[in-house]
Structure 1
Amino acid sequence: MDWSLFLDLFTNVDRFLITIASDYGLLIYFVMFMIFFLETGIVVMAFLPGDSLLFVAGAVTATGAIDPWWLTAVVTLGAILGNTSNFYIGSWLGHKIYDGSISWIDQEALNKTHQFYLMHGGKTVFLARFVPIVRTFAPLIAGAASMPVLRFEFYSITGAFVWVYGLVWAGHLFGNMPFIRDHLTTILLLGIGCALIPTMAIALSKYLKKKKAAKEGAQ
């Protein structure tokens, strides 16, 4: 395989997918599995594309180059196993992830995700699927926080299904429309924002209630 092809993963995603699918056949499914396993399972691989790759891959399935059902199955499995491995890494490292002694952990991204976790609790694992970077750090923090495994897996698995199937099939149905293809990043950001609005509203309501209760208690 021409490894320079992987540069297209960041510059020309559709060409990357079509070339591997046409030249190497079933290897495309292994490649997609590994990308999403690494992106969700290893924090130093958080730079790998997630949302945009899923959407474009969905658009490519509409051409017949990739089977959408096999694609969604292998990517969902990769995302679930990646989260699980990341969770156990966090469980093993414990609170050492916060003291800055582990050089390969991005403390800024970790702290951002930690605040997200404090705001949303266990739902962070589900919601993080739709937020780049946070998606990769959420399982690590959940493991370090000793979240019950079954609770973690429930949020992880349901989040993976909604995230993967939603974006792949949205790409399959709409990805080849010129307007959507040309404004993909903006559309994805808007979608993420809309998905988070209800949760942010609930969090804001809880915050205001706590602030009001604290003010009344001080009087």
Structure 2
Amino acid sequence: MNNFEWKSLIDPVFYINLELGGVQIGLWVVLFIIFAETGLFAGFFLPGDSLLFLAGIYSNELVEQFIIIDGDFVNVLILVILVAVAGILGNFAGYWFGAKSGVYLYNKQDTFWFKKKYLFQSKDFFEKYGGKAIIFARFLPVFRTFAPIIAGIVAMDQKKFTFYNIVSSFVWSFTLIMSGHYLQKLFEKELGIDLKSHIEIIIIIIVLFTTVPVLFKLLKKSPPKEDTSL
């Protein structure tokens, strides 16, 4: 911690290798980050996707901080389950926060920045596409932070939210952690490449892969409609 730099806060490896008093706490930090990023406003900047991919690469080191088991697949499976549970609890926290603040928003008068009609439109959207929205949001930075909060605000059915929350969390954690774990083995065995030596490149690729499509969608403007009133 003596060599701490602020840029380390967006470096997943910093969290994975974190120590406190000579004791490794990387696993618990990873779980807290997943909880925060999937349910707290302040967690939107945290490196969720790249963190899970790298957690798969370092799965054995991380799981040994929790329990020592002789079995590669069992270790990575335990990590998937722990991360999935953290993601589920994070989404529940976000949903609860949204549900509590929703009453205030529904009673709030329209302003320049806030239009109540958008709240009702969001409610209709979640009633129709809620499941897909929760699942897709898991793989999109920023969106996975706010999706459960919005679901709570628009009072998405709790049973429906719970189902998609659990499914999306396990799919997200399983996909990224297993990808990191087994790609590391594949590259090392077939190509003699240790992915741990190319962490910066991996992070850049993941960030580009997950953020560029979102930015493109947000920045893309629909063509102006022709004036047919004449």
TM-score range relative to shorter protein: 0.5 to 0.7
More displaced, 91-100 or 47-56?
91-100
More displaced, 4-13 or 125-134?
4-13
Cα deviation digits, residues 69-124 of structure 1 (max 9, x gap): 343222211110010011011111116458699xxxxxxxx99xx59x56843321
* CA–CA distance in structure 1, aligned partners of residues 5 and 28 of structure 2: 14
* CA–CA distance in structure 1, aligned partners of residues 52 and 109 of structure 2: 33
TM-score (norm 1): 0.66
Aligned to 2:172: 163
**Cα drift, residue 6 of structure 1:** 8.1
**Cα drift, residue 184 of structure 1:** 3.9
In the alignment, is residue 185 of structure 1 matched against residue 184 of structure 2?
A: no
* CA–CA distance in structure 2, aligned partners of residues 3 and 137 of structure 1: 34
**Cα pair distance change 1:15/1:72, threshold 3 Å:** same
Q: Which structure dedicates a bigger proportion of its chain to helix?
A: 1
Aligned to 2:102: 94
Cα deviation digits, residues 37-59 of structure 1 (max 9, x gap): 11111112211110011111111
Aligned to 2:157: 148
RMSD: 3.7
Amino acid at match of 1:20: E
Q: Any idea what SS the aligned residue of 1:41 has?
A: coil
TM-score (norm 2): 0.63
* CA–CA distance in structure 1, aligned partners of residues 98 and 130 of structure 2: 16
Please say if residues 130 and 163 of structure 1, whose CA atoms lie closer than 8 Å, have aligned partners that are also in contact: yes
Please say if residues 80 and 173 of structure 2, whose CA atoms lie closer than 8 Å, have aligned partners that are also in contact: yes
Flag the structure with larger Rg.
2
**Cα drift, residue 14 of structure 1:** 2.2
Q: List runs of 5+ in structure 1 lacking aligned partners.
A: 102-109, 195-199, 201-219
Aligned to 1:58: 56
Please say if residues 58 and 172 of structure 1, whose CA atoms lie closer than 8 Å, have aligned partners that are also in contact: yes
Aligned to 1:14: 13
Please say if residues 135 and 168 of structure 2, whose CA atoms lie closer than 8 Å, have aligned partners that are also in contact: yes
Aligned residues between the structures: 180
**Cα drift, residue 11 of structure 1:** 4.9
* CA–CA distance in structure 1, aligned partners of residues 141 and 43 of structure 2: 11
* CA–CA distance in structure 2, aligned partners of residues 134 and 158 of structure 1: 17
* CA–CA distance in structure 2, aligned partners of residues 179 and 125 of structure 1: 32
* CA–CA distance in structure 2, aligned partners of residues 157 and 8 of structure 1: 32
Amino acid at match of 1:18: N
